[in-house]
Amino acid sequence: MRAFQSALSILVFFLAGATPSAIADGSFYDVPPPGKLVDLGGYRLHINCQGMGSPAVILDAGLGDWSSHWTAVQNLLKTDTLVCSYDRAGYGWSDPGPRPRDSQRIVAELHSLLEKAEVAPPYLLVGHSFGGLNMRLFASTFTGEVAGLVLVEASHPESLPYQRNEAGTAPSTSPSNQMMVVHPVETEALPVPPEAQPAINDNLLRTKSRVTSRGEYRALGNSVLELQRSRPFGDLPLTVLSRGKREWPYGEDGDIKEKNWQLQQMELTQLSSLSHYIVATHSGHHIHIDEPGVVAGAVREMISEERRESASLVR
């Protein structure tokens, strides 16, 4: 239930608004970036790549999170292949980027970042929550460069309050099943590796990430429309990881939301003819933090399959 403890504070921020000057404290003054900053033309994105080999694993975090939240998964995978976490524009060590902060812009920025950082395809994409929405669009946009996709409690279009606009307003007819699971603000509630704690603590003192979250939240309508127009996956290897622990409060409304969320997670497997569905029994919404080994195991399966397929082609 820890996700709900922070939802109110984040929503209060959204409703209260934020001035442009709030972005001024957006740098990590106390914690140096573990990766490198890459100039995309007037603003820089942070990417942290470890290990070596192909395919390259690319990690995208949920709304409000950034590369540090992938530390445990990255530690597990860096001996298997090249694995890269990154900060979307406005999060972590990355500079704020141009708006709107919708998935189409985010995907274009990520592709440019990978090219400039000389991270070559094929890519195995891993996306959590809103990051799953982005990775789905990336896989559909750059089909020939993607070898597989792992969705970690990924946002389903029907689970999002997507009838929003840049002013943050929504019609009164918004479907009642729309929902979001928000990451906890309290860092002591996060079982992340010790090396990730300083960066997470430092970021929580900044307003930059909250301003960015607000921008992504307001652009959800665009993001969903872009995804609905995207190409189908065909036989792209796909693994859907779903939580085993309840996140919504008990009661009729919570029961409906929990049931809908689980049904929507299962529905995501229909995106590909080569899909697998895995329940992380001991995890809430943040499987990569609660059970990083489950995420790493799913990715390793795809790495092995991609390498077997690549070897068969050169024989």
Interval 38-78: pLDDT, tens: 999 999 999 999 999 999 999 999 998 999 999 999 999 99
Give the residue among 129, 280, 283 at the shortest CA–CA distance from 191: 283
- Compute the distance between CA of residue 202 and CA of residue 28 in angstroms, rounded to an integer: 7
- Compute the distance between CA of residue 255 and CA of residue 249 in angstroms, rounded to an integer: 8
Give the residue among 55, 53, 58, 64 at the shortest CA–CA distance from 35: 58
CATH number at residue 44: 3.40.50.1820
Domain span at residue 45?
2-18+36-168+175-314
Residue 141, classified by CB atoms within 10 Å of its CB into exposed (0-12), middle (13-18) or buried (19+), is middle
Averaged confidence pLDDT in the chain = 83
83's tokens: 């694995």
Say how many domains are in the chain.
Answer: 1
| Per-residue pLDDT band at 13 (split at 50, 70, 90) | very low
- Say how many C-beta atoms besides its own lie within 10 A of residue 297's C-beta: 15
Which tens digit of pLDDT belongs to each residue from 87-136?
999 999 999 999 999 999 999 999 999 999 999 999 999 999 999 999 99
Q: Give domain status of residue 240, yes or no.
A: yes
| Per-residue pLDDT band at 142 (split at 50, 70, 90) | very high
Q: Give domain status of residue 199, yes or no.
A: yes
CA quadruple 138, 142, 143, 145: dihedral sign? negative
Q: At what angle do helices 220-228 and 208-218 cross, to 10 degrees?
A: 50
Q: Give domain status of residue 27, yes or no.
A: no
Mean pLDDT throughout 277-287?
96
Task: Report H helices in the chain.
Answer: 2-16, 71-77, 103-116, 130-141, 197-203, 208-218, 220-228, 252-267, 287-290, 292-314
Name, of 155-169, 187-201, 264-278, the range with top average pLDDT. 264-278
Largest CA distance in the chain: 61
Share of the chain above pLDDT 70, in %: 79
In three-state secondary structure terms, 25 is helix
Task: Give residue 253's pLDDT.
Answer: 86
Mean pLDDT throughout 274-294?
97
Which tens digit of pLDDT belongs to each residue from 79-90?
999 999 999 999
Q: Give domain status of residue 28, yes or no.
A: no
Q: Give domain status of residue 25, yes or no.
A: no
